[in-house]
A and B are shown apart, each in its own frame.
Chain A
């Protein structure tokens, strides 16, 4: 029973941190590169995922849980391939290499092809 409450508590803390961080950097225009709050939020999300997997779904490194962990890792691999692959391929498409064009100019260029 306590496992669920611990997981819940940690998740609430992680969630609130993420929202507060975004709230502050949005309102106050903190002079930092836009990259660092992004990385922090992603890390918070990943930690919360692991927390929920362990405390709510009881995915641990037990001997009985072997197949659950294997399935999860394999799915994670495929997800990485899909997401990173899509982003990489789409950002490499020809017309996207025309840096500096607004979307209106891109449309005109494409129509003239």
Chain B
């Protein structure tokens, strides 16, 4: 391990494997969501005499949520570009904006869930609502974990600067965040928009 060239090559191989390995995790997460989507697709009409999606969902809120998440994906990409250029302040600023947009998204989604439950349309009401809350709730849980992750990364970057490992971690977080936005595309298409047709 004393030869610096071999050490450097080993590091680079590790880093490219790091990203590919994380991509494999993302693909397995896609499979998880696929099963939840399949369940929702099967149970979408089992409303047990209760309300169907068209009476429960507020399309303006969904549009706002979509724009919030999409914009946070954009700011995430911008932040990563600054990180690669070693600009610590801009990196922190743009990742903070990403986190704030994510928090707004989660707040809006949570308020919708609370409203549904308070009206009596909780996950206990029907199979449709069970599968809905499971699917959209799992996505929301992923968003929350992402928010915790990015806050830790921002604090880390602020304290220790843009080291090689920090940049890799920010890169991996960005992949995770973009993947969540892609899952949201399928959620708002197949869960929300389809209920209005």
Residues of A within 8 A of B (CB): 1, 4-5, 7-8, 11-12, 15, 18-19, 22-23, 25-26, 34, 37-38, 41-42, 44-45, 48-49, 52-53, 56-57, 67-68, 71-72, 74-75, 78-79, 82-83, 85-87, 90, 103-104
Contact = CB atoms under 8 A, between A and B. Distances in A.
B92 to A, nearest CB: 18
A82 B24 contact: no
Interface string B167-197: 0000000010011011001100110011011
A34 B197 contact: yes
Nearest to B70: A11
Given A15-B67, A49-B185, A82-B35, A56 B73 contact: yes
Interface of B: 20, 23-24, 27, 30-31, 34-35, 37-39, 41-42, 46, 48-49, 54, 59, 62-63, 66-67, 70-71, 73-74, 77-78, 81, 175, 178-179, 181-182, 185-186, 189-190, 193-194, 196-197
A45 B185 contact: yes
Contacts of B70: 8, 11-12, 15
Given A12-B70, A22-B197, A41-B194, A82 B31 contact: yes
A79 B30 contact: yes
A106 to B, nearest CB: 10
Contact of A103 (B38, B39, B46, B185): B46
